[in-house]
Amino acid sequence: MNMKEFSARTTLSAHTLRYYEKIGLLSDIHRSSNGHRFFTTKDLEWVAFIIRLKETGMPLESILEYSNLRALGESTNQERQALLEQHRDKLKSRIENEIQHLSALDAKIEYYTLNKTS
C-alpha cells in the first residue's frame, strides 16, 4: 500500500513514519520505481507493535534496541524476550502505581463533592 493508506491505517502521520524510518525503526521498506515507499502488511504489524510499546511508555530508543535485535534474526530471541520481560515488569508496577493514584483522585473528588453543600 502507499504512504497515504499506510498512514491512515497506522494512525501515524507520513511525517512521523518517515521519521521512524530515518531513525532506523522501520527498515527495508520497499520502494516502487518512482522512489515512493510501498508498505506491506508485515510493516503494518510491526508498526502496530511499535505503537503498543510506545503506549506503554517505552522510549523510542529502547524500541529501536528491540528493533535492531529483531533485524539480527532468531539468534537474538533470548535477548528480545529479556527486554520484553523487563518492560512488562515496569509496566506492571506503573499500572499498580496508577491504580493507587486513581483512588487518591477519587478521594479528592469525593472531598469536593462533600464540601459542595456546606
Q: How many CA atoms lie within 13 A of 91 on its CB side?
A: 14
Residue 11: partners with Cβ closer than 8 Å, 6 or more residues away: 51
> Is residue 37 close enough to count as binding DNA by CB under 7 A?
yes
What is the smallest separation between the CB atom of 22 and its own copies, expressed in angstroms? 26
Backbone angles phi, psi at 13, to 5 degrees: -70, 155
Q: Which is nearer to its own copies, 32 or 41 (CB)?
A: 41
> Is residue 11 close enough to count as binding DNA by CB under 7 A?
no
> Is residue 49 close enough to count as binding DNA by CB under 7 A?
no
Using alpha carbons, list the distances in angstroms from residue 112 to 48, 58, 98, 100: 41, 35, 21, 19
> Is residue 36 close enough to count as binding its own copies by CB under 8 A?
no
What is the smallest separation between the CB atom of 48 and its own copies, expressed in angstroms? 10
For residue 41, the surrounding DSSP H or E stretch is: helix 41-55
What is the contact surface with its own copies in residues (CB under 8 A)?
Answer: 52, 55-56, 77-78, 80-81, 84-85, 87-88, 91-92, 94-95, 97-99, 101-102, 104-106, 108-109, 112-113, 115-116
